[in-house]
Structure 1
Amino acid sequence: MEKGGSPLYYPYVMHHTRPPARIITVTGSGQIEKEPDFIKIQLEVVTENMMASAALQENAERMNRVIEALQQSGIPKSNIQTTSFTINPRYDYVDGQQIFRGYTVTNSISVKVPNGMDAGHIIDTAVQHGVNQISSLQYGIEHENLLYEQALQKALKQAVSKARALAETIQVQLDPKPIKITEDPAYQPGRPEPLLAVSKIASTPIEPGQIVVQASVRVQFQY
Protein backbone atom coordinates (compact mmCIF):
# COMPACT_ATOMS: atom_id res chain seq x y z
CA MET A 1 0.00 0.00 0.00
CA GLU A 2 1.11 3.59 -0.63
CA LYS A 3 1.62 6.02 2.19
CA GLY A 4 -1.79 7.21 3.29
CA GLY A 5 -3.30 3.77 3.01
CA SER A 6 -4.27 3.74 -0.71
CA PRO A 7 -3.87 0.31 -2.34
CA LEU A 8 -1.57 -0.21 -5.38
CA TYR A 9 -3.04 -1.66 -8.54
CA TYR A 10 -0.94 -3.56 -11.11
CA PRO A 11 -2.42 -4.19 -14.55
CA TYR A 12 -2.65 -7.85 -15.48
CA VAL A 13 -0.98 -8.67 -18.80
CA MET A 14 -1.96 -11.89 -20.54
CA HIS A 15 0.90 -13.77 -22.20
CA HIS A 16 0.00 -15.85 -25.21
CA THR A 17 2.30 -18.77 -25.97
CA ARG A 18 2.87 -19.01 -29.68
CA PRO A 19 2.40 -22.56 -30.94
CA PRO A 20 5.48 -24.07 -32.55
CA ALA A 21 5.65 -23.75 -36.33
CA ARG A 22 4.53 -26.86 -38.13
CA ILE A 23 7.04 -27.52 -40.87
CA ILE A 24 7.48 -30.12 -43.59
CA THR A 25 11.04 -30.48 -44.90
CA VAL A 26 11.63 -32.25 -48.19
CA THR A 27 14.44 -32.68 -50.69
CA GLY A 28 14.33 -32.75 -54.46
CA SER A 29 16.81 -33.65 -57.16
CA GLY A 30 16.93 -33.04 -60.87
CA GLN A 31 19.30 -33.80 -63.69
CA ILE A 32 19.83 -32.88 -67.32
CA GLU A 33 21.72 -35.15 -69.71
CA LYS A 34 23.49 -33.79 -72.75
CA GLU A 35 26.08 -34.95 -75.24
CA PRO A 36 29.39 -33.09 -74.70
CA ASP A 37 30.03 -30.05 -76.88
CA PHE A 38 33.80 -30.51 -76.71
CA ILE A 39 36.66 -32.50 -75.22
CA LYS A 40 39.71 -30.84 -73.68
CA ILE A 41 42.87 -32.92 -73.99
CA GLN A 42 46.08 -32.17 -72.10
CA LEU A 43 49.07 -32.90 -74.35
CA GLU A 44 52.73 -32.71 -73.32
CA VAL A 45 56.09 -32.74 -75.06
CA VAL A 46 58.90 -33.83 -72.74
CA THR A 47 62.55 -33.64 -73.83
CA GLU A 48 65.81 -34.39 -72.02
CA ASN A 49 69.40 -33.38 -72.67
CA MET A 50 72.59 -32.71 -70.76
CA MET A 51 72.40 -29.12 -71.94
CA ALA A 52 69.32 -27.03 -71.15
CA SER A 53 69.54 -25.14 -74.44
CA ALA A 54 69.53 -28.37 -76.46
CA ALA A 55 66.57 -29.79 -74.53
CA LEU A 56 64.74 -26.50 -75.01
CA GLN A 57 65.42 -26.34 -78.74
CA GLU A 58 64.29 -29.93 -79.35
CA ASN A 59 61.15 -29.34 -77.30
CA ALA A 60 60.26 -26.17 -79.22
CA GLU A 61 60.75 -27.88 -82.59
CA ARG A 62 58.57 -30.84 -81.63
CA MET A 63 55.82 -28.70 -80.13
CA ASN A 64 55.76 -26.48 -83.22
CA ARG A 65 55.27 -29.59 -85.37
CA VAL A 66 52.46 -30.75 -83.07
CA ILE A 67 50.62 -27.41 -83.19
CA GLU A 68 51.00 -27.16 -86.97
CA ALA A 69 49.65 -30.70 -87.41
CA LEU A 70 46.70 -30.00 -85.10
CA GLN A 71 45.76 -26.90 -87.08
CA GLN A 72 46.03 -28.82 -90.34
CA SER A 73 43.66 -31.39 -88.81
CA GLY A 74 41.04 -28.68 -88.28
CA ILE A 75 41.70 -27.46 -84.74
CA PRO A 76 41.40 -23.63 -84.62
CA LYS A 77 44.41 -21.79 -83.21
CA SER A 78 42.16 -20.30 -80.52
CA ASN A 79 41.46 -23.84 -79.24
CA ILE A 80 45.14 -24.49 -78.46
CA GLN A 81 46.47 -23.00 -75.23
CA THR A 82 49.77 -23.40 -73.41
CA THR A 83 49.04 -24.43 -69.82
CA SER A 84 52.55 -24.90 -68.41
CA PHE A 85 56.22 -24.79 -69.39
CA THR A 86 59.04 -25.99 -67.13
CA ILE A 87 62.81 -26.56 -67.26
CA ASN A 88 64.15 -28.71 -64.43
CA PRO A 89 67.53 -30.30 -63.69
CA ARG A 90 67.58 -34.06 -63.20
CA TYR A 91 69.58 -35.79 -60.49
CA ASP A 92 70.15 -39.36 -59.40
CA TYR A 93 71.48 -40.42 -56.02
CA VAL A 94 74.15 -43.12 -56.08
CA ASP A 95 75.69 -44.25 -52.79
CA GLY A 96 74.45 -41.05 -51.18
CA GLN A 97 76.03 -38.87 -53.87
CA GLN A 98 74.01 -36.52 -56.08
CA ILE A 99 74.70 -37.20 -59.76
CA PHE A 100 73.63 -34.63 -62.35
CA ARG A 101 71.77 -36.28 -65.26
CA GLY A 102 70.84 -33.28 -67.40
CA TYR A 103 67.73 -31.20 -67.91
CA THR A 104 64.07 -31.99 -68.55
CA VAL A 105 61.89 -29.56 -70.49
CA THR A 106 58.11 -30.05 -70.34
CA ASN A 107 55.70 -28.06 -72.50
CA SER A 108 51.97 -28.68 -71.88
CA ILE A 109 49.10 -27.54 -74.06
CA SER A 110 45.33 -27.86 -73.73
CA VAL A 111 43.50 -28.70 -76.95
CA LYS A 112 39.75 -28.13 -77.21
CA VAL A 113 38.27 -30.60 -79.69
CA PRO A 114 34.73 -29.66 -80.84
CA ASN A 115 31.97 -32.26 -80.87
CA GLY A 116 31.77 -33.96 -84.24
CA MET A 117 35.53 -34.02 -84.70
CA ASP A 118 37.36 -37.32 -84.19
CA ALA A 119 39.19 -36.82 -80.89
CA GLY A 120 40.99 -40.15 -81.29
CA HIS A 121 42.45 -38.99 -84.60
CA ILE A 122 43.57 -35.73 -82.98
CA ILE A 123 45.39 -37.68 -80.26
CA ASP A 124 47.05 -39.96 -82.81
CA THR A 125 48.14 -36.96 -84.88
CA ALA A 126 49.64 -35.25 -81.84
CA VAL A 127 51.57 -38.37 -80.84
CA GLN A 128 52.86 -38.92 -84.38
CA HIS A 129 54.27 -35.38 -84.46
CA GLY A 130 56.03 -35.31 -81.10
CA VAL A 131 53.68 -35.55 -78.12
CA ASN A 132 54.97 -38.18 -75.70
CA GLN A 133 52.68 -37.68 -72.72
CA ILE A 134 48.90 -37.27 -72.46
CA SER A 135 47.89 -36.41 -68.93
CA SER A 136 44.11 -36.01 -69.05
CA LEU A 137 40.96 -35.35 -70.97
CA GLN A 138 37.80 -33.61 -69.86
CA TYR A 139 34.38 -33.51 -71.50
CA GLY A 140 32.58 -30.19 -71.41
CA ILE A 141 29.44 -28.39 -72.51
CA GLU A 142 28.83 -24.82 -73.53
CA HIS A 143 26.57 -22.64 -71.34
CA GLU A 144 26.68 -25.19 -68.52
CA ASN A 145 25.10 -22.73 -66.09
CA LEU A 146 21.87 -22.73 -68.13
CA LEU A 147 21.63 -26.52 -67.92
CA TYR A 148 22.25 -26.36 -64.18
CA GLU A 149 19.39 -23.89 -63.80
CA GLN A 150 17.11 -26.33 -65.66
CA ALA A 151 18.21 -29.10 -63.29
CA LEU A 152 17.45 -26.81 -60.33
CA GLN A 153 13.93 -26.22 -61.64
CA LYS A 154 13.35 -29.96 -61.92
CA ALA A 155 14.69 -30.46 -58.39
CA LEU A 156 12.34 -27.82 -56.96
CA LYS A 157 9.32 -29.28 -58.78
CA GLN A 158 10.11 -32.69 -57.31
CA ALA A 159 10.40 -31.21 -53.81
CA VAL A 160 7.04 -29.43 -54.15
CA SER A 161 5.42 -32.66 -55.36
CA LYS A 162 6.80 -34.53 -52.34
CA ALA A 163 5.54 -31.89 -49.91
CA ARG A 164 2.05 -31.99 -51.41
CA ALA A 165 1.97 -35.78 -51.19
CA LEU A 166 2.99 -35.69 -47.53
CA ALA A 167 0.44 -33.00 -46.67
CA GLU A 168 -2.31 -34.97 -48.40
CA THR A 169 -1.31 -38.13 -46.54
CA ILE A 170 -1.48 -36.51 -43.10
CA GLN A 171 -4.53 -34.45 -44.14
CA VAL A 172 -3.23 -30.95 -43.51
CA GLN A 173 -3.42 -27.73 -45.51
CA LEU A 174 -0.01 -26.92 -47.00
CA ASP A 175 1.06 -23.33 -47.48
CA PRO A 176 2.12 -23.37 -51.16
CA LYS A 177 4.79 -20.73 -50.61
CA PRO A 178 8.06 -22.25 -49.29
CA ILE A 179 9.57 -20.60 -46.23
CA LYS A 180 13.10 -21.73 -47.10
CA ILE A 181 14.91 -23.14 -50.13
CA THR A 182 18.50 -24.37 -49.86
CA GLU A 183 20.70 -25.43 -52.74
CA ASP A 184 22.18 -28.67 -51.44
CA PRO A 185 24.91 -29.11 -52.51
CA ALA A 186 26.25 -26.76 -55.17
CA TYR A 187 27.01 -28.39 -58.51
CA GLN A 188 30.64 -29.25 -59.23
CA PRO A 189 31.82 -29.81 -62.81
CA GLY A 190 33.44 -33.11 -63.66
CA ARG A 191 37.13 -33.47 -63.03
CA PRO A 192 39.63 -34.33 -65.76
CA GLU A 193 40.31 -38.04 -66.09
CA PRO A 194 43.70 -39.60 -66.87
CA LEU A 195 44.16 -41.02 -70.33
CA LEU A 196 46.14 -44.06 -71.41
CA ALA A 197 49.91 -43.74 -71.62
CA VAL A 198 51.16 -42.95 -75.11
CA SER A 199 52.85 -46.31 -75.41
CA LYS A 200 49.44 -48.02 -75.12
CA ILE A 201 47.64 -45.91 -77.71
CA ALA A 202 47.22 -47.55 -81.11
CA SER A 203 44.18 -46.24 -82.95
CA THR A 204 42.64 -44.31 -80.10
CA PRO A 205 38.89 -44.83 -79.52
CA ILE A 206 37.19 -41.96 -77.67
CA GLU A 207 33.57 -42.48 -76.58
CA PRO A 208 32.23 -39.33 -74.88
CA GLY A 209 28.84 -40.68 -73.77
CA GLN A 210 26.60 -38.21 -71.93
CA ILE A 211 27.34 -35.46 -69.44
CA VAL A 212 24.93 -35.39 -66.50
CA VAL A 213 24.30 -32.02 -64.84
CA GLN A 214 22.72 -32.55 -61.41
CA ALA A 215 21.10 -30.27 -58.85
CA SER A 216 19.64 -30.86 -55.39
CA VAL A 217 17.51 -28.67 -53.13
CA ARG A 218 16.12 -28.79 -49.59
CA VAL A 219 12.77 -27.03 -49.14
CA GLN A 220 10.66 -26.20 -46.07
CA PHE A 221 6.90 -25.56 -46.07
CA GLN A 222 4.52 -24.58 -43.30
CA TYR A 223 1.18 -26.27 -42.75
Structure 2
Amino acid sequence: MQRRTIAPILLVGLVLLAGCLSAPLQATTDGGADATNATNATTISATGTGEVTADADLAVVSLAVTTTADSADDARGTVADDVAAVRAALTGAGVAEDAIQTTGFNIYPEYDYSGQERELLGYRATHTLRVEVAPDRAGEVIDLAVGAGASEIRGVAFTLSDEKRAELREEALTRAVGSAKADADAVASASGLTVAGVHTATVGGSASPGPYPVAYAEDAARGGSTELSPGPVTVSATVQMVYEAE
Protein backbone atom coordinates (compact mmCIF):
# COMPACT_ATOMS: atom_id res chain seq x y z
CA MET A 1 0.00 0.00 0.00
CA GLN A 2 2.75 2.45 0.81
CA ARG A 3 4.52 1.90 -2.54
CA ARG A 4 1.25 2.44 -4.45
CA THR A 5 0.56 5.72 -2.56
CA ILE A 6 4.04 7.22 -2.99
CA ALA A 7 4.41 6.46 -6.70
CA PRO A 8 1.50 8.69 -7.90
CA ILE A 9 2.70 11.53 -5.67
CA LEU A 10 6.26 11.27 -7.04
CA LEU A 11 4.90 11.23 -10.59
CA VAL A 12 2.86 14.42 -10.02
CA GLY A 13 5.92 16.19 -8.60
CA LEU A 14 8.05 15.33 -11.61
CA VAL A 15 5.37 16.65 -13.97
CA LEU A 16 5.16 19.96 -12.11
CA LEU A 17 8.97 20.32 -12.12
CA ALA A 18 9.12 19.67 -15.86
CA GLY A 19 6.49 22.37 -16.44
CA CYS A 20 8.55 24.91 -14.53
CA LEU A 21 11.69 24.08 -16.47
CA SER A 22 9.92 24.43 -19.80
CA ALA A 23 8.48 27.92 -19.01
CA PRO A 24 10.17 30.67 -21.11
CA LEU A 25 12.51 33.19 -19.33
CA GLN A 26 11.52 36.90 -19.56
CA ALA A 27 13.68 40.07 -19.11
CA THR A 28 12.59 43.72 -19.05
CA THR A 29 14.68 46.74 -19.91
CA ASP A 30 13.76 50.21 -18.66
CA GLY A 31 13.32 52.77 -21.40
CA GLY A 32 13.46 50.21 -24.17
CA ALA A 33 11.69 52.47 -26.68
CA ASP A 34 13.93 55.47 -25.87
CA ALA A 35 17.04 53.34 -26.17
CA THR A 36 15.91 52.14 -29.60
CA ASN A 37 15.25 55.70 -30.75
CA ALA A 38 18.65 56.87 -29.46
CA THR A 39 20.39 54.02 -31.22
CA ASN A 40 18.63 54.78 -34.50
CA ALA A 41 19.22 58.57 -34.32
CA THR A 42 21.28 60.04 -37.16
CA THR A 43 23.87 62.60 -36.11
CA ILE A 44 26.69 64.53 -37.74
CA SER A 45 29.71 65.66 -35.72
CA ALA A 46 31.78 68.70 -36.68
CA THR A 47 34.51 70.78 -35.10
CA GLY A 48 34.76 74.50 -35.75
CA THR A 49 37.46 77.05 -34.96
CA GLY A 50 37.08 80.81 -34.93
CA GLU A 51 39.72 83.52 -34.65
CA VAL A 52 39.50 87.25 -34.04
CA THR A 53 42.46 89.60 -34.28
CA ALA A 54 42.60 93.04 -32.73
CA ASP A 55 45.05 95.62 -31.48
CA ALA A 56 46.21 95.22 -27.90
CA ASP A 57 44.54 97.53 -25.42
CA LEU A 58 46.87 96.76 -22.48
CA ALA A 59 50.64 96.82 -21.98
CA VAL A 60 52.29 95.06 -19.05
CA VAL A 61 55.80 96.24 -18.17
CA SER A 62 57.83 94.01 -15.85
CA LEU A 63 60.71 95.76 -14.13
CA ALA A 64 63.05 95.23 -11.20
CA VAL A 65 64.98 97.34 -8.74
CA THR A 66 68.16 95.61 -7.60
CA THR A 67 70.98 96.65 -5.28
CA THR A 68 73.84 95.14 -3.27
CA ALA A 69 75.10 96.17 0.16
CA ASP A 70 77.31 94.91 2.98
CA SER A 71 74.33 93.90 5.09
CA ALA A 72 70.89 92.56 4.34
CA ASP A 73 69.25 95.50 6.08
CA ASP A 74 71.22 98.04 4.04
CA ALA A 75 70.24 96.24 0.84
CA ARG A 76 66.59 96.21 1.90
CA GLY A 77 66.64 99.90 2.78
CA THR A 78 68.23 100.96 -0.50
CA VAL A 79 65.79 98.93 -2.56
CA ALA A 80 62.88 100.34 -0.59
CA ASP A 81 64.00 103.88 -1.33
CA ASP A 82 64.54 103.16 -5.02
CA VAL A 83 61.15 101.46 -5.41
CA ALA A 84 59.47 104.40 -3.69
CA ALA A 85 61.18 106.72 -6.18
CA VAL A 86 60.01 104.58 -9.13
CA ARG A 87 56.45 104.54 -7.82
CA ALA A 88 56.50 108.30 -7.31
CA ALA A 89 57.78 108.90 -10.83
CA LEU A 90 55.07 106.70 -12.35
CA THR A 91 52.15 108.00 -10.29
CA GLY A 92 53.37 111.54 -10.86
CA ALA A 93 53.01 110.90 -14.59
CA GLY A 94 49.43 109.72 -14.17
CA VAL A 95 49.85 105.96 -13.76
CA ALA A 96 47.24 104.67 -11.32
CA GLU A 97 48.58 103.36 -8.01
CA ASP A 98 46.67 100.09 -8.35
CA ALA A 99 48.29 99.58 -11.76
CA ILE A 100 51.68 99.19 -10.04
CA GLN A 101 51.91 95.85 -8.25
CA THR A 102 54.70 93.95 -6.53
CA THR A 103 55.35 90.57 -8.16
CA GLY A 104 58.41 89.50 -6.19
CA PHE A 105 60.87 90.42 -3.46
CA ASN A 106 63.99 88.68 -2.19
CA ILE A 107 67.24 89.26 -0.34
CA TYR A 108 70.07 86.75 -0.47
CA PRO A 109 73.81 86.62 0.27
CA GLU A 110 76.40 86.56 -2.51
CA TYR A 111 79.66 84.64 -2.11
CA ASP A 112 82.99 84.37 -3.89
CA TYR A 113 83.89 80.72 -4.38
CA SER A 114 87.22 81.26 -6.14
CA GLY A 115 89.29 80.61 -3.00
CA GLN A 116 89.57 77.58 -0.79
CA GLU A 117 86.77 78.91 1.37
CA ARG A 118 83.78 80.91 0.25
CA GLU A 119 83.92 84.60 0.99
CA LEU A 120 80.84 86.71 1.68
CA LEU A 121 80.72 89.58 -0.77
CA GLY A 122 77.50 91.17 0.41
CA TYR A 123 73.75 90.95 0.06
CA ARG A 124 71.58 91.45 -3.00
CA ALA A 125 68.01 92.68 -2.74
CA THR A 126 65.56 92.64 -5.63
CA HIS A 127 62.04 94.06 -5.81
CA THR A 128 60.08 93.31 -9.00
CA LEU A 129 57.08 95.30 -10.19
CA ARG A 130 54.32 94.87 -12.75
CA VAL A 131 52.96 98.02 -14.34
CA GLU A 132 49.81 98.06 -16.46
CA VAL A 133 49.21 100.96 -18.84
CA ALA A 134 47.82 101.72 -22.26
CA PRO A 135 50.04 100.32 -25.04
CA ASP A 136 51.13 103.75 -26.23
CA ARG A 137 52.55 104.53 -22.77
CA ALA A 138 54.76 101.47 -22.38
CA GLY A 139 57.88 103.24 -23.63
CA GLU A 140 57.21 106.19 -21.33
CA VAL A 141 56.90 103.86 -18.33
CA ILE A 142 60.26 102.30 -19.16
CA ASP A 143 61.97 105.69 -19.41
CA LEU A 144 60.40 106.95 -16.17
CA ALA A 145 61.24 103.77 -14.25
CA VAL A 146 64.85 103.60 -15.41
CA GLY A 147 65.31 107.29 -14.72
CA ALA A 148 63.98 106.86 -11.19
CA GLY A 149 66.22 103.92 -10.28
CA ALA A 150 64.93 100.73 -11.90
CA SER A 151 67.80 98.34 -12.61
CA GLU A 152 66.12 95.99 -15.09
CA ILE A 153 63.31 95.96 -17.61
CA ARG A 154 62.46 92.27 -17.68
CA GLY A 155 59.88 92.35 -20.41
CA VAL A 156 56.90 94.01 -22.03
CA ALA A 157 53.73 92.18 -22.99
CA PHE A 158 51.04 93.64 -25.21
CA THR A 159 47.79 91.88 -24.44
CA LEU A 160 44.07 92.43 -23.81
CA SER A 161 42.09 93.65 -20.86
CA ASP A 162 39.58 91.20 -19.38
CA GLU A 163 36.66 93.11 -20.92
CA LYS A 164 38.18 93.20 -24.39
CA ARG A 165 39.21 89.53 -24.21
CA ALA A 166 35.66 88.49 -23.27
CA GLU A 167 34.26 90.52 -26.17
CA LEU A 168 36.64 88.98 -28.68
CA ARG A 169 36.11 85.46 -27.32
CA GLU A 170 32.35 85.79 -27.83
CA GLU A 171 32.96 86.79 -31.44
CA ALA A 172 35.44 83.93 -31.90
CA LEU A 173 32.89 81.43 -30.55
CA THR A 174 30.26 82.74 -32.96
CA ARG A 175 32.65 82.21 -35.85
CA ALA A 176 33.56 78.74 -34.57
CA VAL A 177 29.91 77.67 -34.45
CA GLY A 178 29.37 79.05 -37.93
CA SER A 179 32.35 77.08 -39.22
CA ALA A 180 31.09 73.84 -37.64
CA LYS A 181 27.57 74.40 -39.02
CA ALA A 182 28.93 74.96 -42.54
CA ASP A 183 30.85 71.69 -42.40
CA ALA A 184 27.83 69.82 -41.04
CA ASP A 185 25.60 71.22 -43.80
CA ALA A 186 28.11 70.15 -46.44
CA VAL A 187 28.30 66.61 -45.05
CA ALA A 188 24.51 66.39 -44.75
CA SER A 189 23.99 67.58 -48.32
CA ALA A 190 26.50 65.09 -49.67
CA SER A 191 24.71 62.33 -47.74
CA GLY A 192 21.21 63.28 -48.85
CA LEU A 193 20.31 64.55 -45.38
CA THR A 194 19.32 67.82 -43.73
CA VAL A 195 20.61 69.22 -40.43
CA ALA A 196 17.59 69.37 -38.15
CA GLY A 197 19.10 70.84 -35.00
CA VAL A 198 21.85 70.76 -32.42
CA HIS A 199 22.17 67.58 -30.39
CA THR A 200 25.15 68.56 -28.19
CA ALA A 201 27.74 71.34 -28.15
CA THR A 202 31.08 71.40 -26.34
CA VAL A 203 33.27 74.47 -26.03
CA GLY A 204 36.97 73.78 -26.20
CA GLY A 205 39.84 75.78 -24.80
CA SER A 206 40.90 79.10 -26.28
CA ALA A 207 44.30 80.57 -26.83
CA SER A 208 44.98 83.36 -24.38
CA PRO A 209 47.01 86.31 -25.60
CA GLY A 210 50.55 86.05 -24.32
CA PRO A 211 53.65 88.22 -24.36
CA TYR A 212 54.56 89.56 -27.76
CA PRO A 213 58.07 90.59 -28.76
CA VAL A 214 58.75 94.29 -29.00
CA ALA A 215 61.53 96.28 -30.55
CA TYR A 216 63.35 99.40 -29.44
CA ALA A 217 63.01 102.04 -32.13
CA GLU A 218 65.72 104.12 -30.50
CA ASP A 219 68.41 103.40 -27.94
CA ALA A 220 67.64 105.18 -24.71
CA ALA A 221 71.33 105.23 -23.92
CA ARG A 222 71.78 107.68 -26.77
CA GLY A 223 69.28 110.03 -25.22
CA GLY A 224 66.21 109.07 -27.27
CA SER A 225 62.89 108.06 -25.76
CA THR A 226 61.94 104.42 -25.83
CA GLU A 227 59.41 103.56 -28.52
CA LEU A 228 57.81 100.13 -28.78
CA SER A 229 55.93 98.54 -31.67
CA PRO A 230 53.28 96.05 -30.49
CA GLY A 231 51.88 93.40 -32.78
CA PRO A 232 48.22 92.35 -33.07
CA VAL A 233 46.63 89.96 -30.60
CA THR A 234 44.62 86.94 -31.74
CA VAL A 235 41.94 85.21 -29.69
CA SER A 236 40.77 81.79 -30.89
CA ALA A 237 37.98 79.45 -29.79
CA THR A 238 37.03 75.87 -30.67
CA VAL A 239 33.64 74.13 -30.48
CA GLN A 240 32.67 70.51 -30.99
CA MET A 241 29.14 70.23 -32.31
CA VAL A 242 26.89 67.20 -32.80
CA TYR A 243 23.87 67.88 -35.04
CA GLU A 244 20.72 65.86 -35.53
CA ALA A 245 20.10 64.99 -39.16
CA GLU A 246 17.11 63.63 -41.02
Q: 1:44, 1:119 → 2: CA distance?
A: 15
1:172 aligns with 2:193: yes
Correspondence 1:51-70 to 2 at 5 A = 51-70=71-90
Give yes or no for contact 1:44–1:106 (8 Å, CA) kept in 2: yes
1:79 aligns with 2:84: no
Three-state SS of the structure 2 residue aligned to 1:182 is strand
Q: 1:58, 1:12 → 2: CA distance?
A: 88
TM-score, scaled relative to structure 1? 0.82
Identify the match of residue 104 of structure 1 among 124, 137, 140: 124
Q: 1:6, 1:182 → 2: CA distance?
A: 56
Q: 1:131, 1:106 → 2: CA distance?
A: 10
Letter in 1 for 2:71: M
Correspondence 1:179-198 to 2 at 5 A = 179-184=199-204, 186-192=205-211
TM-score, scaled relative to structure 2? 0.75
Three-state SS of the structure 2 residue aligned to 1:94 is coil
1:140-186 deviation per Cα after TM superposition (whole angstroms, max 9, x unaligned): 32312232122112101110111001111221232322x222223x1
Structure 1 counterpart of 2:133: 113
* Structure 1 gap ranges (5+): none
Larger radius of gyration: 2
Q: 1:34, 1:191 → 2: CA distance?
A: 14
Query: RMSD in angstroms over aligned alpha carbons?
Result: 3.2
Letter in 2 for 1:211: V
Correspondence 1:101-180 to 2 at 5 A = 101-115=121-135, 117-142=136-161, 143=163, 144-177=165-198, 179-180=199-200
Structure 2 counterpart of 1:46: 66
1:56-112 deviation per Cα after TM superposition (whole angstroms, max 9, x unaligned): 222122222211111222212221112221111112322453221110010111111
Identify the match of residue 213 of structure 1 among 235, 238, 241: 235
Give yes or no for contact 1:134–1:195 (8 Å, CA) kept in 2: no
Letter in 2 for 1:149: E
Cα 1:62–1:196, aligned 2, differ >3 Å: closer, same or farther? Answer: farther
* Structure 2 gap ranges (5+): 1-13
User: Between the two proteins, what is the percent identity of the paired residues?
Assistant: 27
Letter in 1 for 2:82: R
Q: Using CA pairs below 8 Å that are at least 6 residues apart, which structure has the higher relative contact order?
A: 1
Give yes or no for contact 1:135–1:195 (8 Å, CA) kept in 2: no
